[in-house]
Structure 1
Amino acid sequence: MTSTTERDVTGPAFPRASSRVRGMISGRIFELLAEAARSDAVDLGLGVPGAPETSPLVIDEACAALRSGHNQYELPEGNRALRRWIADTLPGDTDPGTELTITVGATEALMAAVLAVVDPGDEVVVFEPYYENFVNAVVLAGGVPRFVRTRPDDWRFDPAELRAAFGPATKAVIVSTPNNPTGHMLDESEWAEIAALCHQWNAVVISDEIYSGFTFAKPHISVTEVPGLRDRSFLVGSLSKTHSVSGWRLGYLRASAELTAIARRVHATVCAGAPAPLQEAVAKAAAQDPGFATPADDLRSQRDRVVTLLEKIGMECRLPDGGCYLMARVPRGESSDDFAHRLVREAGVLVAPGTVFHVDPAAGADHVRVAFNRSSEFLDEVAVRLASFRTGMSGTGL
Structure 2
Amino acid sequence: MNGPVPPRTASRVRGLISGRLLELLGEAARSAAVDLALGVPGAPETSPLLLDQACGALRSGHNQYEALAGNRELRRWIADTLPGDTDPDTELTITVGATEALTAAVLAVVDPGDEVVIFEPYYENFVNAVVLAGGVPRFVRTRPDDWRFDPAELRAAFGPRTRAVIVSTPNNPTGHMLDESEWSEIAALCGKWNAVVISDEIYSGFTFGKPHISVTEVPGLRDRGFLVGSLSKSHSVSGWRLGYLRASAGLTGIARQVHATLCAGAPGPLQEAVAKAAAQDPGFAKPSDDLRSQRDRVTGLLEKIGLECRPPDGGCYVMARIPPAVGESSDVFAHRLVREAGVLVAPGTLFHTDPAAGADHVRAAFNRSPDFLDEVAARLASFRTGASAIRL
CA contact (8 A) 2:106 2:129 kept: yes
Do residues 349 (structure 1) and 337 (structure 2) align?
no
1:61-92 alpha-carbon deviations (Å, 9 max, x no partner): 00000000000000010000000000000000
Q: Which residue identity does 1:36 align to in structure 2?
A: A
* Aligned: 1:145 with 2:137: yes
CA contact 1:175–1:207 (8 Å) conserved in 2: yes
Distance 1:161 1:83 in 2: 38
**TM-fit CA distance, 1:184:** 0.2
Q: Matches of residues 313-352 of structure 1 in structure 2 within 5 Å?
A: 313-332=305-324, 333-352=327-346
Which one of the candidate residues 99, 106, 109 is aligned to 2:101? 109
Amino acid at match of 1:330: I
The separation in 2 between residues aligned to 1:38 and 1:343, in whole angstroms, is: 14
Determine the structure 2 residue equivalent to 1:37: 29
Q: Does 1:224 align with 2:220?
A: no
Alignment check: 8 A CA contact 1:49 1:374 kept: yes
**Secondary structure, aligned partner of 2:79:** helix
Query: What residue is the counterpart of 2:180 in the other structure?
Result: 188
Secondary structure class of the residue paired with 2:156: helix
Inter-partner Cα distance in structure 1 for 2:117 and 2:391? 42
Gaps of 5+ in 1: 1-8
1:12 positional shift: 3.4
Distance in structure 1 (CA, Å) of the matches to 2:245 and 2:44: 23
1:365 aligns with 2:359: yes
Tell me if 1:161 matches 2:153. Answer: yes
Equivalent residue, structure 2, for 1:87: 79
Matched residue, 1:255: 247
Identity of aligned residues (%): 85
SS in 1 for 2:171: coil
Unaligned runs of 5+ in 2: none
Aligned AA (2:362): V
Q: Which residue of 1 aligns with 2:278?
A: 286
**Worse-superposed segment, 13-22 or 162-171:** 13-22
- TM-superposed CA distance for 1:10, in Å, is 4.8
TM-score calculated relative to the size of structure 1: 0.96
Q: Indicate the residue corresponding to 1:385 in structure 2.
A: 379
Show the counterpart of 2:44: 52
* 1:246 lines up with 2:238 in the alignment: yes
Deviation at 1:217, TM superposition (A): 3.0
Aligned-pair distance for 1:16? 3.1
**CA drift at 1:330:** 1.6
Structure 2 matches for 1:7-18, cutoff 5 A?
A: 10-18=2-10
User: Out of 77, 94, 97, which is 2:89 matched to?
Assistant: 97
Query: CA offset at residue 26 of structure 1?
Result: 1.5
Alpha-carbon separation, structure 2, partners of 1:173 and 1:326? 24
Looking at structure 1, the residues matched to 4 and 390 of structure 2 have their Cα atoms a distance apart, in angstroms, of 58
Task: Give distance in 2, aligned partners of 1:65 and 1:394.
Answer: 53
Determine whether 1:21 maps to 2:17: no
CA distance in 2, matches of 1:394, 1:183: 26
**Which of 309, 326, 339 lines up with 2:301 in the alignment?**
309
CA distance in 1, matches of 2:260, 2:207: 33
Aligned residues between the structures: 388
1:278-299 deviation line (CA, Å, top 9, x unaligned)? 0000000000000000000000
User: Equivalent residue for 2:228?
Assistant: 236
Describe the SS at the equivalent of 1:183.
Answer: coil
Q: Which amino acid aligns with 2:391?
A: G
Q: Is the 8 A contact 2:341 2:380 kept in 1?
A: yes
Cα displacement string for residues 86-135 of structure 1 (whole angstroms, at most 9, x for unaligned residues): 00000000000000000000000000000000000000000000000000
CA contact (8 A) 2:383 2:389 kept: no
Tell me whether 273-282 or 24-33 shows the greater mean CA deviation: 24-33
User: Offset of 1:208 from its aligned partner?
Assistant: 0.1
Aligned mates of 1:30, 1:45 — CA distance in 2:
11
C-alpha distance in structure 2 between counterparts of 1:394 and 1:106, whole Å: 38
Specify whether residues 331 and 272 from structure 1 end up closer, same or farther in structure 2 by C-alpha distance, changes over 3 A only: same
CA offsets 1:163-183 (integer angstroms, 9 cap, x no match): 000000000000000000000
Which one of 109, 124, 127 corresponds to residue 132 of structure 1? 124
* Residues 132-168 of structure 1, C-alpha deviations (whole Å, 9 max, x = no match): 0000000000000000000000000000000000000
Please report the TM-score for the alignment, with normalisation by the length of structure 2: 0.97
> Contact conserved, 1:240 with 1:247, CA < 8 A, in 2?
yes
CA distance, structure 2, for counterparts of residue 387 and residue 331 of structure 1: 19
**Contact persistence 1:331–1:393 (CA under 8 A):** no
> For residues 9-48 of structure 1, what are the alpha-carbon distances to aligned partners after superposition, in whole Å with 9 as ceiling and x for unaligned?
9553122321100111121112111110000000000000
Q: Is the contact between residue 120 and residue 142 of structure 1 (CA under 8 Å) also seen in structure 2?
A: yes
SS in 1 for 2:303: helix
Aligned residues of 2:173 and 2:318 also touching (Cα < 8 A): yes
Equivalent residue letter for 2:161? A
For residues 254-300 of structure 1, the C-alpha deviation after alignment (integer angstroms, 9 at most, x for no partner) is: 00000000000000111000000000000000000000000000000
